[in-house]
Structure formats: structure tokens, C-alpha cells
Structure 1
């Protein structure tokens, strides 16, 4: 097998142009000093040889790598979409990203250690599960941005959607359709689940009544959603909720799968709402009503938070909270047998804090 040609070096350009390596370096960096004829000779030689400056060596010489480290759950479609937006935002600011995945055999701590081995200048953690003290300890020596969850950790920048308000949007939509028995399929243990669960409880108590709160153990996967749906279906027909709000889209897909296997029509027999508005939710064959966290805006804000630390020297932590919105599709509709309100619903159009519900987006299937 023929050997690959070696990459042209600075010395090769200097030899071809008949000048010193110092002159080549000045020309290629656009610095003053070399004459016009020398500049022309160097640029011609570099073009003929196909020379490209070694960006890594240059950055290391300045003690910079211009790398943003990103941890992500490889099983999360939302993380994959968010990652694409993070790369685009990093490109615009002259940075690149290094991805460190979380898998069944690779936890978040190991993923972070790998990013630090690559000398990443900032860490962008997608939905981190590290505790607040662990995040604060990490932020003592590194720039850390927690994306998608609240964090009361000193020195940590936070970029997230208002998850409690997002779930409240889902509940308000279902109540407006006539549902009075709405269950929440809980997520895994952690701050993200806690905030979404709180938003559900608050919205149901306000819009329907405290006795209507029903939290079903679940998780973040399709299997967990399917198990939750099985629990719901095991109750007496007259006591079953008429609508389910799932922790995320993956759990909602598991719910839909179990409902359809058991012959329960969606939305006629039960309405289902997911969270994340992931790409699969938009497929016409799924057509899932879901809460969108605005991943592009989240990615831009996260990269901006990191680069402000690195390029502008910002030291004060920021907490960026974005407004989610509900995208209505085909998995929600009026209940088959609407229940009649005995008392008027106070603040039926309100959210958990201001009494106002942000606008809902109604989207046709397949978009």
C-alpha cells in the first residue's frame, strides 16, 4: 500500500519561497514586516504546496484550544437535535465542539473527564445529572454551562426552558378540551423531573382541583412509558384518566405503543402529550402533541454563555430561562365522555405564576 504524502510544513513553504520560516510565519499570520514581493512569494509557495496552517499547534502555543466540550445522552433524540444547533452556534463564534457521550456503560463523570483530557475550555452539559455540589466543585476550575435543568450551584451558568410552565401548558390544553382526569407519567429521579412534576401538580390543582392529581411512576424511556400505561389501564375503566402527560417524548411513545396494543384509541380513548417536541414527534405516523423547549434558542444561549466567559471575561453566573410552547398535533382531543364541572374553574386560562398561558402552536401532521 503506498504511503500517504506528508503534510506540507512551514519549512517547506520557506524553502520553496526562498525565505526564512520567520518571514513565512509573519506573512501567513498577516503581520507587518515582510515586503510585498516576499508576501507574494510566500503565498504562491503555500498555494502550490497546498499548505494549511496547523490550527491546533497555533492554539496550543497561545494556550487556547477553542474547544467546547459537550456531554449528551446518545439515546436522546432531543439531545441530538440540540447538539446540531450547538455546533452551528459554536461555528459562528470560531469554536469547535468535542462530544463525550453518555451510554449504559459510560456515566457523566467519565464523560466529563474525557472532555477535560481534550483540554476543552468550557463544558456544556446537556441535562446533567450531577448534583449541585458536584457541579459547583467542577465550576471551581472550569467553565460549566448546565443546559436543560435548574442548578443552584455556585459559578455554574444555566440555560433551560421553564419546564413547570411547559407542563402547565399541556394541562391547560387538555382541560380546555374537556378533560378533568389528567395523569402525569413521571420521569427519573432528578431536578428535571421534579420541576415538571411540580408544574403538573400546580396546574391541575388550579385548573381542576387538588383531588385530581395523579402521578404515575415512569421514566425517560419507551419501556418506562409502556409500563406506566399498563398501570393506568389496570385500573377500573370509570376511574382511568382520560389524558396522560408524559415526562418526555420517549416515554410518550411507549405510552402510545401500549395503548394501541391494548386497543385504546388515541385520542378518542385517551389523549397523550409528550415533552421535547423531538423529530420523531413530528412524523405523520406519530403526530404527537408535545411541548417544545426551543432547542435552537437554547443552543445559542448556551454557547453565548460559554464564550462570554472565555472571550469577555465574565465572572458572574447567568440563569437564562426560555419560554416553552405547546405544539398541538393528533394525539390530543376531547374525551369520549366529558365530565361536567360542578363549579366554574377559576383562572382556567392561567399559568402557574401569572394567570396567563403562552400561545399554543397548532401544527399539521408531518411538519
Structure 2
């Protein structure tokens, strides 16, 4: 009768509780709590029965209440941008990196209707133990103030704040590979579409400038201020077309900008790559789509996420130097597809 009564309550829509699991298994609620906390005091057989029963009843722990009861949170809060395809790949990597850990990810989105400050406030109010910020747009001073109260890891943007860990891709290596590829195809008139106000935008522009100088192209390349969206790339393409004389190749700040550029070029009858080659940056999912097949500098989202989680866990465990910046630079590569070819004669 007891089991049928419990099941009917669940069917009526009531969420199962630890008390329900204890009744089903025939143990105390405190013993069920011991199992969920992975604390000593329960036999292997009891643990298995409790977990199997919880799964069968559809029990889900209230992580918010659990965090409030805890004196020290071990959850990792992640602020990400909904309009950045590469952030989706980073999130996949973060979930993979925490799959076997007791720490749980807490996500908070930055969107057109919700700024980064609001997203971070939500994570702090949840009492996350550490924050991982994907491409943060906060000022250095704001990041410094934030890190004084909670460990912060910045992904895809370097930080000089002493309490902040960061992990970035090697933009100089990526730009060098892109220019190696283009110059080997005979390209000399190359335009870079920069996004200086975007996270990491100035660093990537400096990387392009240094790579162009090392290739002895510094007097033959042009840097144009653009942005990180498809609209920015479309506007850049329109401006280039309006000038009449096209460059032989364009490297965009990211794949989204390159996609907008390609769209306008194709609509105006410009044959890519016969008349103009295009390289994106990130090698995100949109670059590999069959109709696009874009050559792109590849960042490794899995490694970026893995290092970010490692740094967050180290801060949570209070290991390593507390007041020295710990930066990690990861290698990049070039994925060659169909948007690059020999320079036009």
C-alpha cells in the first residue's frame, strides 16, 4: 500500500523527495542523505539501492538549496554569450571536463536583453564557488573587483589582475599559419578585419600585425575596423566592393564576421576563392557547414575548457600561489577548406 500511495503521488505531479526514497528502500532519510553526500556510513548495497530507487522515482537534488546549506560552495558558474557559436563548443568542453567530478556547472547567459553584469550577479547570488567567464567584456578594474570576492577564470581573454587565471589560444601562431597559407598561394594584398572592442580583439590584431611583419608583409596588408557579427562582415564586404579594387585575400576576426563577408561577396557575383580568398577564426561549427566550407584558424575548445576547469578547481581547493596570475596559452592550427585558393593573376 505504501509503495502504491507513493507512486500515485508522483503520478499526480508531486516531485519525489529523499523521504520518498527512504520509504521505498526501507531506510532512514538521514541514511539517504549520507548516500547523496557520498559520505561514509552506508554499505555498498544500500548505496546502490538508494541510487537505483532515486533514478526510478525521478528524484533530482535541489542544488540551490544544497548550496545554501553548504558553508563552502564547490559549484562553478559559467557566463557565456548566446550569440557566439564558439561559446557553445566551449560549453560542451566544460561539461565534458566536469563529467566525473562532484562539482556542478551553473550557467548564466549574456544576451541582447541581459548584460554580462546581470549574468554574473545571478551566478554570485547562487553562491558559486568559482566563476569561468567566456570572452568577458568587463573592464580590468571590474574583473579585479569581482576576483577579490570569488575566484575568476577568464577564457579567450588575458587579464593582468593578480587574482585572475586566464586561458587563451595562441593568436600569433594562428595568424602566422593563416599568412603562411596565403603567401604560399601567392597572396600579397591581404586585409584583416579587426574587432578591437571585442574580448581579445586588440590582442588578435596585435598578433596579426606581428605575424605580417615576420612575413615581411607589413607594408602590403591593411587592417580595417570591423566587428564580430555577420552584420559587421557584411558591412566590410560592401565597403570593399565600393572601393572597386578588391584585395586578394581577407582574414576576419572570427567565423561569424567571415560568414557575413562571404554572403555579400557571393551575392555580388564575386567568385570565392577564384577572385578572393577568405579565412575565418575559431573554426566553429558554422565554418564546417557544407554550403560554406570555410578555411579557418582552429582554436581547441576542449583544451580551453579543460584548462579553465583545472584552474577553477585549483582555486576552489586553494592550491598554488594565490596572488600571482596564472596564464595558459594553447596552440592553434589551420583547417583548410574551399574558401582559399591561389591568388588571382
**Normalization by structure 2: what TM-score?**
0.86
3-state SS of 1:201 partner: helix
Q: Which has the larger radius of gyration?
A: 1
Q: Pick from 238, 254, 269 the counterpart of residue 263 of structure 1.
A: 269
Q: 1:106 to 1:207 in 2, by over 3 A?
A: same
Whether the 8 Å CA contact 2:273–2:338 is kept in 1: the answer is: yes
**For residues 135-146 of structure 1, what are the structure 2 equivalents within 5 Å?**
135-146=143-154
Q: Pick from 104, 116, 133 the counterpart of residue 125 of structure 1.
A: 133
**For residues 356-367 of structure 1, what are the structure 2 equivalents within 5 Å?**
none
Residues of 2 paired with 1:15 and 1:248: CA distance? 54
Q: Pick from 258, 277, 280 the counterpart of residue 283 of structure 2.
A: 277
Residues of 2 paired with 1:27 and 1:212: CA distance? 66
Whether the 8 Å CA contact 1:16–1:45 is kept in 2: the answer is: no
Gaps of 5+ in 2: 1-8
Between stretches 274-283 and 61-70, larger displacement belongs to 61-70
For each residue in 1:306-346, what CA deviation from the matched residue of structure 2 results, as whole angstroms up to 9, or x when unmatched? 01111353325421110111111110011111xxxxxxxxx
1:93 alignment partner in structure 2: 101
2:79 alignment partner in structure 1: 71
1:134 alignment partner in structure 2: 142
Q: Pick from 302, 312, 326 the counterpart of residue 318 of structure 1.
A: 326
Moved over 6 A (4+): 39-42
Whether the 8 Å CA contact 1:281–1:287 is kept in 2: the answer is: yes
Residue 256 of structure 2 is aligned to residue 253 of structure 1: no
3-state SS of 2:98 partner: helix
Between stretches 297-306 and 44-53, larger displacement belongs to 44-53
2:343 alignment partner in structure 1: 335
Aligned-CA RMSD value: 3.0
**How much does 1:305 deviate?**
0.8
Residues of 1 paired with 2:266 and 2:155: CA distance? 34
The number of equivalent residue pairs is 330
For each residue in 1:49-98, what CA deviation from the matched residue of structure 2 results, as whole angstroms up to 9, or x when unmatched? 95958463555444244321111111111011111111111222222212
1:289 alignment partner in structure 2: 295
**How much does 1:21 deviate?**
5.1
Gaps of 5+ in 1: 338-367
